[in-house]
Chains A and B, each alone.
Chain A
Amino acid sequence: MSQAEVKSPEPVVEMLDVSITFGAVRALDGVSLRLLPGEVHALMGENGAGKSTLIKALTGVYTIDSGRVEIAGVETQFATPAAAQHAGISTVYQEVNLVPNLTVAENMLLGREPRRLGRIDRREMNRRAATSLLALGIDIDPGSELGGHPIAVQQLVAIARAVDTDARVLILDEPTSSLDADEVARLFEVMHRLRDQGTAIVFVSHFLDQVFEISDRMTILRNGRVVGERLVAETTQLELVQLMIGRDLQVLDRLDHAVQEAADDAPAEQRLPVLSAVGLGRKGSLEATDLNLYAGEVVGIAGLLGSGRTELARLLFGADAPDTGELTVRGSSRRRLRSPRHAIDRKLAFCSEDRKAEGVFEELSVADNMLLGLQASRGWLRPIPTSTRDKLVGEFMTALDIRPADPSLPMRSLSGGNQQKVLLARWLITEPDVLLLDEPTRGIDIGAKTQIQQLVADLAEKGMSVVFISAELEEVLRLSHRLVVLKDRRKIAERPNRGIDVNDVLEIITGERGGLAEKERADA
């Protein structure tokens, strides 16, 4: 592997063999990172790969357990983020940490205001702020209130504030996630300017195209380890994604496709869709998307983190209100789903990826958790009779093999996998026509995982329409009859899952090899 040994200048930051352990979890495992002046360095990796832990280790938020950090050749360990900032390492986080009701200049010089005779010298403050802003090509009035500017400008002000403290290293954590294309271009201009002035920039983003546009070099992390350091110019998107998700493509075979082919001979397209979305979209989460769901079919949604997978499911369920488009349920008159309640009444069900925040009621019993969906539909005046209750709970505890097999336990005492099964049972009890599953197997052990996969296959066989979202491409490919690929909040491909392997999906996502994806995009 061509380790990018360039005639490099002295690195401003060199982290060597850094490890951090939280309890039993090795968050960073012998990670090395070097940042060179005048370079944009992308930090890549899936969720939980250790990107933010690494940033926090560098900036003194976390104490490292072993390894060394050298700043300009001097071994250093920052005790606090303030110490790191003092040494010229500035971080701008995704959410702008500024005060919206102060002026731009006040924000930029907060805590180090120029004083005259003990009073803040406003004139001088505005002058200094204007100078720094102009140096970055940001043309706004430093006396204006910060909150009155769009988020993108606020982000630029945050960056201006960060570099104003003589930053040698600027860390940008997901700076583009709430920006539109023009605003991204503006941010990149500022980044170019800073890079040319010799600042080392760390860029964290889930948007591959942006990473490839702006970065010079990248370090790829997976499960707390460095799996590669590359020059962007010598790397393809495909290679990067393979490194990120840890797939050795040569080894991949088509083990599950025998099952696959048998399942997909149902000519779905001739039937009426159970649910049909036309131009469904929402600003900042998903571009207008068409999608039809048919009975007895599993539709797999593939895409990287931030591609719009979750957003699509939430729009289909009415969990978020769409800005555009229409949803038709079973051919009935076109109308938008106003709320989850509305969707559930039309026999939709949605398991959120965020089990803890959006699914589980920790203090309630397993039985109550399981029956809440049905109970909510019946309303408070019609409690579920005890006999029905016991029958349903008993049935699903056995069918889904939920352990411990005591439905009176509080939900919080169950493992993640069993909680997930309870949530599935909750929706199955409501007998939905369409089941939207967002990461139903994330963070659960392999046994529960296979059980859930099996369940999904069985449900589709019995005529349910299932949408299956997972970060694990094999899982998506194993279960789905049809595949929808999302990238950068847009549907880029949709095709029957016939003879597709992980490699093909990655190629679609990264848009490499023969413009396959381009063709798909034109069709869509």
Chain B
Amino acid sequence: MPETVSKGKALGARAMAHHLFWPLVALGALLVVNLIATPTFFNVRIQDGHLFGSLVDIVRNGAPVLLVAIGMTLVIATRGIDLSVGAVAAIAGAVACVYIVKSPADGAAATAVVAITMGLAVSVALGLWNGFLVSVVGIQPIIATLVLMVAGRGIAMLVTGGQITTVNNDTFAALASGHLLTLPVAALIALGVFAATQVVVRRTALGLLIESVGINPEASRLVGVRSRTIIWTVYVFAALCAGTAGLIIAANTHSVNANSLGLWIELDAILAVVIGGTSLAGGRFSLTGTLVGAMLIATLTRTIPNIGIPAEANYLFKALVVVIVCLLQSPKARAVLQRRGDRTPTGPSTPSREEAVA
């Protein structure tokens, strides 16, 4: 066992060095701010066998971003990025809703199941397309997924015929507003996907191979990693996550608007990943970090109205918090802050030449 003398101190330093320390501090701080603004903020009550309260809302409303961010984490770990997730969400939602509306039994549970399956199947197809462009054709991920980001909205419009499609199907609606074992279904889905992904990635070798591709693509190729398959897989998975998120969002509003469903969700998801400590340069990734990041964003969204920030300052406030968290997390920024006090200028050796003629 290690020495006990400076155990407390060492533990503190170890905690601070942990990649989740600052995001968790920020999350805690935001919650405290909310608690001051609304003393009942942490209250959770059971009503009709369901949990209710602000904290439950945060998890429930954060579910779509969390889902998208989980997929995004794996994509980013391979040095990629997926900008099309919002559009994929819209297509998945559109396909499911249009199917339900057109179905003769539009209220039946079976219809909802088929609709959900179709939405997910379409997502997989879109993920295959993204993965094909990136891993086979070799297009830069940002460009390859930009194609679907733009075209995807158009596809969703075609599916819905440009109309806002409203559905009345309780089974479908339960995706967002239903409860299971007192917990909201949306939150359960997102947390379930989180747990399943965590297990698959860490219990199989997938996580290791994803990281190796992200850390050093050329060395991965020479060591025989099937990079193409791995990259393809993560894009399909990211699209599947995005499709699930799209279904939840559509279920939440009982409708789909091809123009707005999942709009800018890719940016929130990328933010969640970055806040969680996964580098955009690829390589090591942390799904737990992404979970914290997504919850931080969901809390932030909730905080803004709660502490009475005017709607027009909404985005500015969000940006401010994000910048602070990212700075706190950056080892470089922290080092600069620490060194501020005792810094002495030790520039490169100046030429000791007698004269310098140019």
- Is A384 engaged at the interface, CB distance under 8 Å to the other chain? yes
Taking CB atoms, residues of chain B closer than 8 Å to A376 are: 209, 212, 220, 223-226
- Is B215 engaged at the interface, CB distance under 8 Å to the other chain? yes
8 closest pairs, A vs B, by CB?
A344-B224, A380-B206, A83-B358, A376-B224, A383-B205, A376-B225, A63-B351, A341-B224
Chain A 217-234 per-residue mask, 1 if CB under 8 angstroms from chain B, else 0: 000000000000000000
- Is A210 engaged at the interface, CB distance under 8 Å to the other chain? no
**Known contacts A361-B215, A364-B215, A376-B225; A383 and B355 CB within 8 A of each other:** no
- Is B137 engaged at the interface, CB distance under 8 Å to the other chain? no
- Is A375 engaged at the interface, CB distance under 8 Å to the other chain? yes
- Is B230 engaged at the interface, CB distance under 8 Å to the other chain? yes
Give 14 A-B contacts (CB < 8 Å), ordered by A residue.
A76-B357, A77-B353, A87-B358, A340-B222, A341-B224, A341-B225, A357-B218, A358-B222, A361-B219, A368-B208, A373-B224, A376-B212, A376-B224, A383-B205
- Which of A63, A77, A87, A372 is B225 in contact with, Cβ under 8 Å? A372
Taking CB atoms, residues of chain A closer than 8 Å to B211 are: 361, 363-364
Number of A-B contacts (CB under 8 A): 104
Taking CB atoms, residues of chain A closer than 8 Å to B204 are: 380-383
The DSSP consensus for interface residues of chain B is: loop
Chain A 66-90 per-residue mask, 1 if CB under 8 angstroms from chain B, else 0: 1000000011111110010011000
Taking CB atoms, residues of chain B closer than 8 Å to A339 are: 221
**Known contacts A360-B216, A372-B212; A379 and B226 CB within 8 A of each other:** yes
Question: Considering the complex, which residues of chain B in the window 329-357 have a beta carbon less than 8 Å from any beta carbon of chain A?
Answer: 349, 351-353, 355-357
Chain A 382-396 per-residue mask, 1 if CB under 8 angstroms from chain B, else 0: 111000000000000
Residues of chain A having any CB pair with chain B under 8 Å:
63-66, 74-80, 83, 86-87, 317, 319, 339-341, 344-345, 350, 352, 357-364, 368, 372-373, 375-384, 426
Contact assessment for A77 and B212 in the assembled complex, using a CB-CB cutoff below 8 Å: no
User: Taking CB as reference atom, which chain B residue is nearest A411?
Assistant: B215
The distance in angstroms between the C-alpha atoms of A352 and B209, with both chains bound, is 20
Taking CB atoms, residues of chain B closer than 8 Å to A87 are: 358
- Which of A66, A373, A380 is B223 in contact with, Cβ under 8 Å? A373
Contact assessment for B208 and A375 in the assembled complex, using a CB-CB cutoff below 8 Å: yes
Contact assessment for A340 and B223 in the assembled complex, using a CB-CB cutoff below 8 Å: yes
**Known contacts A77-B357, A375-B205, A380-B204; A350 and B215 CB within 8 A of each other:** no
The distance in angstroms between the C-alpha atoms of A114 and B183, with both chains bound, is 76
**Known contacts A77-B356, A361-B212; A378 and B351 CB within 8 A of each other:** no
User: Taking CB as reference atom, which chain B residue is nearest A318?
Assistant: B222
The distance in angstroms between the C-alpha atoms of A77 and B223, with both chains bound, is 48
- Is B284 engaged at the interface, CB distance under 8 Å to the other chain? yes
Q: Chain A's nearest CB lies how many Å from the CB of B87?
A: 28
The distance in angstroms between the C-alpha atoms of A317 and B211, with both chains bound, is 24
- Is B102 engaged at the interface, CB distance under 8 Å to the other chain? no
Contact assessment for A350 and B222 in the assembled complex, using a CB-CB cutoff below 8 Å: yes
Residues of chain B having any CB pair with chain A under 8 Å:
203-206, 208-209, 211-212, 215-216, 218-226, 230, 283-284, 349, 351-353, 355-358
The distance in angstroms between the C-alpha atoms of A345 and B224, with both chains bound, is 9
Contact assessment for A372 and B208 in the assembled complex, using a CB-CB cutoff below 8 Å: yes
Taking CB atoms, residues of chain A closer than 8 Å to B356 are: 77, 79
Most buried by B among A345, A358, A381, A384: A358
The distance in angstroms between the C-alpha atoms of A363 and B349, with both chains bound, is 32
Taking CB atoms, residues of chain A closer than 8 Å to B351 are: 63-65, 77
Q: Chain A's nearest CB lies how many Å from the CB of B357?
A: 5
- Which of A359, A360, A378 is B205 in contact with, Cβ under 8 Å? A378
Taking CB atoms, residues of chain A closer than 8 Å to B219 are: 352, 357-361
- Contacts A360-B219, A373-B223, A377-B224 known; list 12 others, CB within 8 Å: A64-B353, A75-B357, A77-B355, A77-B356, A80-B358, A340-B223, A357-B216, A358-B218, A364-B208, A372-B212, A379-B205, A380-B230
The distance in angstroms between the C-alpha atoms of A373 and B209, with both chains bound, is 10
**Known contacts A63-B351, A363-B284; A375 and B215 CB within 8 A of each other:** no
User: Taking CB as reference atom, which chain B residue is nearest A375?
Assistant: B205
Taking CB atoms, residues of chain A closer than 8 Å to B218 are: 357-358
The distance in angstroms between the C-alpha atoms of A64 and B206, with both chains bound, is 51
Contact assessment for B223 and A426 in the assembled complex, using a CB-CB cutoff below 8 Å: yes
Most buried by A among B284, B349, B356, B358: B358
The distance in angstroms between the C-alpha atoms of A74 and B357, with both chains bound, is 9
Contact assessment for B212 and A364 in the assembled complex, using a CB-CB cutoff below 8 Å: yes
- Which of A83, A341, A361, A368 is B226 in contact with, Cβ under 8 Å? A341
